[in-house]
Amino acid sequence: MPPIPSDDLRPLDREVAQQVARRTVQMARPLRRLMLIAVGFVLLSTLATLLGPVLLRYGIDRGIRRGDVGPVNFAVVLFGVIFVVAYLAGRQQYVYINRAGEAFLRTLRVRVFRHIQRQPLAFYDRWPAGVLVSRMTSDIEAMAELVQWGLLQFVSTFIVIGLSLVLLFVLSWQLALVALAVFPLIILATRRFQRDSNEAYLTVRERVGENLSSLQEGISGVRVIQAYSREREQSRRFRHSNRSLYKSHLHSLRVSTWYFGVVEACGVLATALVIGVGGFLVHRGSVTVGTVIGVVLLVANLFEPIQQLSQLYNGVQQAGAAMNKLFGILDTDPEIADRPNAVAAPPTGDIVVDDVTFHYPSTTTPALEHFSLTIADGERVAFVGPTGAGKSTAAKLIARFYDPTSGTITYGGLDVRDATMASLRERMVVVPQEGFLFGGTIAENIRVARAEATDDDIRAALASLGVLERFEAFPEGLHTEVRERGSRLSAGERQLVSLARAALVDPAVLVLDEATSNLDPGTELVVEAALERLMTGRTTIVVAHRLSTVRRADRIAVIDHGRLVELGTHDELVAEGGRYAALAAAWERNQIVS
């Protein structure tokens, strides 16, 4: 798995930038029809706009100078037609460019999100949630700004410059060369502007981050700040970061002002040169007055797009850096996926963990080391041990949320790595310590486990747990909105929804991460009763934190420092007087105290 790209937005080197551009074009290939239509409208709009100077030349030379009203009237009428064409084409170019851009963003969002959803837990160990959210929001937003208005400006600018140059040489190659005499100065200024604006832009980004960090600390830590009377100091720190941001913006503004001033001055100089040389050529009879005026107008059309391209430079850089980071996600292949020729997992069977060693990618110390255990079909086994001993890791490996570094795990005689993920998820269900609820109704949250389940299926799942009446007692029954993260339900009710999901799947193996550890006594009894019903007749692996849960297990596996150190029933392990006996005694003391 590649390392997480940093949030550094420095310009990409040429090779990486070219690769990002090629991949972006390939991704946008299905939209080429929309893009071609948009470019066609841009071309039509630009041609209509640039025909103005040509018509002006015609009206002056053929009509005004000769005192003939006909050519003047023709030019005026054609001007009106051109205005209508330019207006209609301008509207359509905006519509099609934005349709193509928004379609690209939609495809990009869906592709990145779908790719993230396919990743195993190991992916989320490497990629913090904040980074992924940033990729899906700020990085795609950087692309949005470019495709919504920058792409239109980018395409139209190049067309305007190209057609203006062609028309300049068509009208008068001598005056065209005169107008282009200032271009070396513009090229030198543009190269310096790109370098200086990059530095200024990066500084602004850094200062924005510092300012937001100071603001977040001031709001998030307000209780500590007020408790220790640190308001004045915190305000001083925010003023300092805000002042730095202000100065960086001023520097960025000075860089832009300097460059745009140079371009504008070059435009004025080019216009003056064209008028001066053009007057001389008119006097000699080499060009007409209409030609000189037409060239002057085209020169104005030539220099304004150059300024627009320079303004787009940082936007293109930012979009390129954002796409590079998004490609970093898309290039991350799922570590847990179906092998070639994978088969369906057996409906039932023993679970055999054979000499498994595993360590997380970010650590060198094994979370499990030479771990072996056989769990018979229908047996209840509790994993106990101190925090960080490897209990949850062992459970996740059995459910194939991770693959072992070495060793094998088989289910019904089949290596779980040779089973299809879909069949494995049907056979084994993991119920986490705290059930996560999505926005929607109770029924919709239970249906997460099986999308095609009917309301009758959901009622049957709840009835099998003995809690159907509890949920039907809500004002809207199973169609009651749970609100964000299930805030409308109690902790026990949220956990009952998680258990109902498992019952709806009807798996052969249950993996439970102590489903009653965070509940109040009132709902704990209800959840425990539902849990007992759910475990009946199923192979159950419990990551246990309570003595009451452990005692119900057929066998207890004591895990410490990633190794299986004791295995047996509650009575056997207590009689041995080892680690489990000490742990059980501590649990009993805590129960007496509480």
Q: For 155-170, what is each residue's pLDDT tens digit? A: 778 888 888 888 888 8
| Residue with the two structure tokens 């207590």 | 574
Scored b (16 or more CB within 10 A) or e, 89-114 reads bbebbbebbbebbebbbeebbeebee
- Nearest Cα neighbor of 427 from 376, 356, 502, 528 is 502
Of residues 561 and 305, which shows the higher confidence score?
A: 561
Alpha carbon of residue 15 to chain centroid: 24
Q: Which amino acid belongs to residue 362?
A: S
pLDDT in tens, 354-363: 999 998 877 7
Is residue 125's pLDDT more than 70? no
Q: Which fold has domain 1-169+314-335?
A: ABC transporter transmembrane region fold (1.20.1560)
Given a contact cutoff of 8 angstroms between Cβ atoms, the answer to whether 553 and 568 are in contact is no
pLDDT in tens, 505-524: 889 999 987 666 666 666 77
200-209, 268-277, 364-373: lowest mean pLDDT where?
A: 200-209
Given a contact cutoff of 8 angstroms between Cβ atoms, the answer to whether 360 and 424 are in contact is no
May I ask the CATH architecture of the domain 351-593?
Answer: 3-Layer(aba) Sandwich (3.40)
Q: What is the pLDDT of residue 338?
A: 83
Is residue 288's pLDDT more than 60? yes
Q: How far apart are the first and last CA of the chain?
A: 47
Q: What is the pLDDT of residue 314?
A: 65
Of residues 256 and 150, which shows the higher confidence score?
A: 256
- Both tokens of 467, joined, read 């809690």
Confidence of residue 567 (pLDDT cuts 50, 70, 90): very high
Q: What is the pLDDT of residue 591?
A: 57
Of residues 223 and 563, which shows the higher confidence score?
A: 563
pLDDT in tens, 447-492: 888 888 898 999 999 999 998 988 888 888 888 888 776 677 888 8
| Residue with the two structure tokens 């103005």 | 52
Work out the mean pLDDT of the chain and round it to a whole number: 82
Given a contact cutoff of 8 angstroms between Cβ atoms, the answer to whether 225 and 218 are in contact is yes
Of residues 232 and 515, which shows the higher confidence score?
A: 232
Distance from C-alpha of 548 to C-alpha of 510, rounded to nearest angstrom: 18
Q: What is the pLDDT of residue 2?
A: 44
Q: Please state the rounded mean pLDDT for residues 330-358.
A: 87
- CA dist 279 → 275, 288, 562, 570 (Å): 6, 9, 91, 107
Distance from C-alpha of 186 to C-alpha of 267, rounded to nearest angstrom: 10
Question: Strands (DSSP E) along 432-581, which ranges?
Answer: 509-512, 539-543, 555-560, 563-568
- Nearest Cα neighbor of 383 from 203, 121, 187, 558 is 558
Distance from C-alpha of 358 to C-alpha of 356, rounded to nearest angstrom: 7
| pTM > 0.85 | no
Q: What is the pLDDT of residue 159?
A: 81
Percent pLDDT > 70 in the chain is: 90
Tell me the pairing of strands 509-512 and 414-415.
Answer: unpaired
Distance from C-alpha of 286 to C-alpha of 279, rounded to nearest angstrom: 10
Q: Please state the rounded mean pLDDT for residues 189-194.
A: 82
Specify burial of residue 409 (Cβ count, 10 A radius: 0-12, 13-18, 19+). buried
